[in-house]
């Protein structure tokens, strides 16, 4: 009698319960989110010259680059408007931002180039903005409107291809 289970109790014995399909979908979504997160980190932190060589990431990287530097130019202009930065400080920061963007976007060492060297390159459209920013920064008699120059800098960055 020890080893035998009565037949009426067997109806309560069953296998483990099955898993819900929601857990599978949740796991798949989490894997996709992790892959997307690592892709964003890669684009945000990898040096630009390496990213320009990867065709699939090239357009995403250029969009992120334009957005980031345009936002920086807009922030500098806002700080000048609220008198947190002087005309000289704002124009120097805008010039530095534009030169850094051009370096990241083209791979040229724009930070060390003189404006005369811009004429023979694809950077010619940026020379007029950089010249106006330099005048606002170094010429005490300049009547340059830094807010307008900030808008021109932001527009140049946004429209860069």
Residue 134 lies in a domain: yes
In a domain, 80, yes or no: yes
Per the prediction, the chain carries an average pLDDT of 85
pLDDT at 97: 95
Whether the per-residue pLDDT at 6 is higher than 80: the answer is: no
Q: Is residue 95 part of a domain?
A: yes
Residue 15 lies in a domain: no
Is 16 inside any structural domain?
A: no
Q: What mean pLDDT comes out for the span 71-78?
A: 95
Task: Look at residue 142 in the predicted model and tell me its pLDDT.
Answer: 81
Non-local CB neighbours of 66 within 8 Å, separated by 6+ positions: 101, 105, 157, 158, 160
Average pLDDT over residues 127-140: 88
Q: Provide the domain count of the chain.
A: 1
pTM: 0.70
Q: Per the domain annotation, does 4 fall within a domain?
A: no
Task: Report percent pLDDT > 90 for the chain.
Answer: 39
Q: How many CA atoms lie within 13 A of 144 on its CB side?
A: 25
pLDDT of residue 2: 61
Least confidently predicted of 44-58, 78-92, 102-116, 125-139: 44-58
124 in any annotated domain: yes
pLDDT given at position 16: 77
Rg of the chain over Cα atoms, rounded to whole angstroms, equals: 29
In a domain, 10, yes or no: no
What's the confidence (pLDDT) of residue 5? 59
The model's pLDDT over 31-66, given as tens digits with 9 standing for 90+, comes to 999 999 998 887 777 776 777 677 777 788 788 889
Whether pLDDT at 30 is above 60: yes
Query: Containing domain of residue 140, as a range?
Result: 21-159
Dihedral, 67, 70, 76, 77 alpha carbons, nearest 10 = -130
Mean pLDDT of 118-138: 86
């Amino acid at each position: 009698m020890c080893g035998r289970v009565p037949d009426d109790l067997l109806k309560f014995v069953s296998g483990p319960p099955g898993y819900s399909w929601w857990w599978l979908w949740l796991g798949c979504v989490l894997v996709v989110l992790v892959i997307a997160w690592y892709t964003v980190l890669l684009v945000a932190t990898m040096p630009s010259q390496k990213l320009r060589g990867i065709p699939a990431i090239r357009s995403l990287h250029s969009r992120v680059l334009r957005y980031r530097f345009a936002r920086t130019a807009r922030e500098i202009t806002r700080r000048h408007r609220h008198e947190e930065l002087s005309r000289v400080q704002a124009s120097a920061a805008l010039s530095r931002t534009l030169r850094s963007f051009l370096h990241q976007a083209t791979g040229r060492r724009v930070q060390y180039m003189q404006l005369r060297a811009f004429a023979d390159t694809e950077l010619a459209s940026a020379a007029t903005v950089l010249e106006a920013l330099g005048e606002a920064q170094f010429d005490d008699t300049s009547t340059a409107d830094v807010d307008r120059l900030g808008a021109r800098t932001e527009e140049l960055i946004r429209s860069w291809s």
